[in-house]
Amino acid sequence: MENTTAFDLNNAIRRWRDGLSQSPHFREENLAELEGHLRDSVAELEGRGLTEEEAFLLAASRLGNPAGLASEFAKVNRGQVWLNRLLWMLVGIQVWGLLATVSHLAADAAVLGGLTGLGYRFRQFYPLSVGGVFAAALFGLANLAVLAGGVAGCWWLMRRKETSFHQATVKAMQRPVLVGLALSLLLLVIALAPAAQWALVQKCYAREAAGNIAMARAFSGLVFGPLQTLAFVVLTIMLFRRRLRPGPAS
Q: What's the closest the beta carbon of residue 248 comes to another protein, in angstroms?
A: 21
DSSP string of 149-173, one letter each residue: HHHHHHHHHHH-TTSHHHHHHHHHH
Residue 19: which H helix or E strand, with range? helix 9-21
Among 244, 231, 91, smallest CA distance to 172 is for: 91
Q: What is the DSSP letter of 205?
A: S
- Per CB under 8 A, which of residues 19..48 are in contact with another protein? 29-30, 32-34, 36-37, 39-41, 43
Q: Does 184 bind another protein (CB under 8 A)?
A: no
Q: What's the closest the beta carbon of residue 6 comes to another protein, in angstroms?
A: 23
Nearest to another protein of 54, 157 (CB atom): 54
Q: Whole-angstrom Cα distance, residue 94 to residue 33?
A: 34
Residues with Cβ within 8 Å of residue 104, at least 6 apart in sequence: 143, 146, 147, 194
Look at phi and psi of residue 119 and say left if phi exceeds 0, alpha if psi is from -120 to 50, else beta: left
Q: Does 68 bind another protein (CB under 8 A)?
A: yes
Q: Does 223 bind another protein (CB under 8 A)?
A: no
Q: Does 73 bind another protein (CB under 8 A)?
A: yes
Task: Give the binding-site size for another protein (rule: CB under 8 A).
Answer: 20
Find the binder of another protein among 7, 18, 21, 76 (CB under 8 A). 76
Q: Does 56 bind another protein (CB under 8 A)?
A: no
- Chain residues that interact with another protein, rule: CB under 8 A: 29-30, 32-34, 36-37, 39-41, 43, 62-64, 68-69, 72-73, 75-76
